[in-house]
Structure 1
Amino acid sequence: MKKKGFLIDMDGVIYKGSEPIPGAVEFINGLKEKGLPFLFLTNNSQRTGRDVCYKLNKMGFKVNETDIFTCAMATARYLASKKENGTAYVIGEGGLLTELYNAGYSIVDDQPDYVIIGEGRTIMLESVDKAINMIMKGSKLIATNLDPNCPMGEGKYRVGCGALVAMLEFATGIKAFSVGKPSPIMMRMARKALQLTTDETVMIGDTMGTDILGAGSMGFTTVLTLTGVTKKEDLGHFGYSPDFIIQSIKDLLNEDLFNQVIGGRVMADIW
């Protein structure tokens, strides 16, 4: 079998809410059995890799903490490569704070090197005011991702990191730098973590503007699944397209289709 590895989005691809998408458990556990490398890529910075792994294990996925790669991890590692032992003021939750600590960063509330924005369910306006003043005084504005909203299931959404960042950008006149999908920084880090080349990397995702755009720009093989936010009728709005379109990750249990993806034979529609 030609060497391939997979970068896989989670929400809308392998599960919705607390329920796995049919066929997802069999597909992921099958990758493990075949010894094919993969990483779950998520733009959610709230939870640690251990937290995410626990959730997946409860659903039946036989995965480890090392199979998880979050935008919080990408952000922390990127900043550590630019400034060792830096300081940050953070609007976000445990996943982001943990990764920054692991990268050698100190969390402060006065003259930080960076103001870092992640997801948060209990953001106070006082924190936003502090962030604005820090940015105006020279702290650099970093976003873990620019997703405008986050799906919660049952057709409900909550405010995403990108919406909060947009408010800070408007208030300060400073544009944020983002490391999360579709940034090539996160995509490249994930590929290197799997020790793959560009043509050995396959991205499976449900979002055109993050998963497919980011992976396609890197030259990865892209697979769009229609179980998440993107529907078939949406595709005409984009100036780019995935290499493969599938109804569900369950379709990849079909050996012929799986081998087509592995082989990189592009097919516009597969049903």
Structure 2
Amino acid sequence: MFEGKKLFVLDLDGTFYLGDRLLPGSLEFVEKVYEVGADLVFLTNNSSATKQEYRDKIEKLGVSGKYFDIYTSAEATIRFLKEHYSNKSVYLLAVPSVENLFRWSGIELDDEDPDIVVMTYDKTLNFQKIERFCHFVRHGALYIASHPDINCPTEHGPIPDVGSFIALVKASTGRDPDHVIGKPNTAILEMLIKDYDVQKDEVVMIGDRLYTDIECGLRTGVDTILVLSGETTMDMVPEDPPFYVFSGLKEIVESMK
């Protein structure tokens, strides 16, 4: 199934690492993809860090920067805003580094009268931010979320993610996001396919979540692999699934030999 593949798109949390620990087979997988001459892109919904912060973390875990690139739902959200709402102001929920990324990318941030509200994975979230965000949503601002993940897997167990915050806003305002940018939205994967100038049959999507990673790969029409190293357990996998199932990256590496 890996013959002729030119682009491997890999999730991070629960697929490649948990917290600050590489999962078994992660380094070997990266080296194998490089050995066969394919490109590796980490595609993460987690918008609580910038591309450079992710790169620094992965390199500190022992992975050479020559092996990979990174694309985040925060970057995709910025790209979406610039392509469709370039002259609109934004009230943003984000950690400081991601807020700076939006600002440096030319997005006009507005805490008083924004046209759009954007929710990323803000680990500095507090009541004042949520109160203001809900106020703008309730009064008709366009509402965008970077991704729909309910929980983020860590070495200590799952923690609330953007999907949980979306549920909070829905309970308060009655509104769902007008746009959700990250996986399973096919646009985020289509962007990579276009950027790397490959065909869909040359792409493999690998992740640990059924409703984001796997759904994104299936909707886009690429070969898709579920790993059982993160959120999904075997009892959650449907009978005769339209995707491949491996225990983790270590087993995938063994199948590529």
Q: TM-score, normalised by structure 1?
A: 0.87
The within-5 A match list for 1:179-190 is 179-190=181-192
1:69 aligns with 71
User: Alpha-carbon deviations, 1:9-39, whole Å to 9, x = none?
Assistant: 0111111221111221021123224331121
2:128 aligns with 126
1:253 aligns with 253
2:47 aligns with 45
Cα distance in 2 between the residues matched to 1:242 and 1:17: 30
Cα distance in 2 between the residues matched to 1:35 and 1:89: 42
- Is residue 162 of structure 2 the alignment partner of residue 164 of structure 1? no
The question of whether the paired residues in 1 share the 8 Å contact of 2:89 and 2:109 is answered with: yes
The question of whether the paired residues in 1 share the 8 Å contact of 2:15 and 2:208 is answered with: yes
- Is residue 57 of structure 2 the alignment partner of residue 55 of structure 1? yes
2:151 aligns with 149
CA, structure 1 residues 203+95, in 2 after alignment: closer, same or farther (shift >3 Å)?
A: farther
User: Alpha-carbon deviations, 1:149-169, whole Å to 9, x = none?
Assistant: 212223x22221111112212
For residue 107 of structure 2, the aligned residue among 100, 105, 108 is: 105
What's the CA shift for 1:251? 1.7
Cα distance in 1 between the residues matched to 2:144 and 2:120: 9
Cα distance in 1 between the residues matched to 2:158 and 2:213: 19
User: Alpha-carbon deviations, 1:129-176, whole Å to 9, x = none?
Assistant: 11122123331111111111212223x222211111122123222220
2:117 aligns with 115
User: Alpha-carbon deviations, 1:95-150, whole Å to 9, x = none?
Assistant: 53244224310111022121111112231111111112212333111111111121
Cα distance in 1 between the residues matched to 2:133 and 2:42: 31
What's the CA shift for 1:67? 0.5
Cα distance in 2 between the residues matched to 1:214 and 1:6: 14
Structure 1 gaps of 5+ residues are 260-271
Cα distance in 2 between the residues matched to 1:162 and 1:15: 21
Larger RCO of the pair (alpha carbons < 8 Å, separation 6+): 2
3-state DSSP of counterpart to 2:187: helix
User: Which amino acid in the other structure matches residue 125 of structure 1?
Assistant: F
- Is residue 15 of structure 2 the alignment partner of residue 19 of structure 1? no
Cα distance in 2 between the residues matched to 1:99 and 1:65: 24
User: Which amino acid in the other structure matches residue 173 of structure 1?
Assistant: G
The question of whether the paired residues in 1 share the 8 Å contact of 2:77 and 2:181 is answered with: yes
Q: Which moved more, 1:119-128 or 1:220-229?
A: 119-128
Cα distance in 2 between the residues matched to 1:249 and 1:65: 16
Cα distance in 1 between the residues matched to 2:170 and 2:187: 21
User: Which amino acid in the other structure matches residue 45 of structure 1?
Assistant: S
- Count residues with an aligned counterpart: 254
What's the CA shift for 1:3? 4.2
The question of whether the paired residues in 1 share the 8 Å contact of 2:10 and 2:43 is answered with: yes
3-state DSSP of counterpart to 1:153: coil
Q: TM-score, normalised by structure 2?
A: 0.91
Query: What value does the CA root-mean-square deviation take over the aligned residues?
Result: 2.0
Cα distance in 1 between the residues matched to 2:42 and 2:100: 18
1:173 aligns with 174
What's the CA shift for 1:242? 4.5
Cα distance in 2 between the residues matched to 1:218 and 1:147: 19
The question of whether the paired residues in 2 share the 8 Å contact of 1:150 and 1:159 is answered with: yes
User: Which amino acid in the other structure matches residue 191 of structure 2?
Assistant: M
User: Which amino acid in the other structure matches residue 133 of structure 2?
Assistant: A
2:95 aligns with 93
3-state DSSP of counterpart to 2:65: coil
Structure 2 gaps of 5+ residues are none
3-state DSSP of counterpart to 1:152: coil
Cα distance in 1 between the residues matched to 2:200 and 2:40: 14
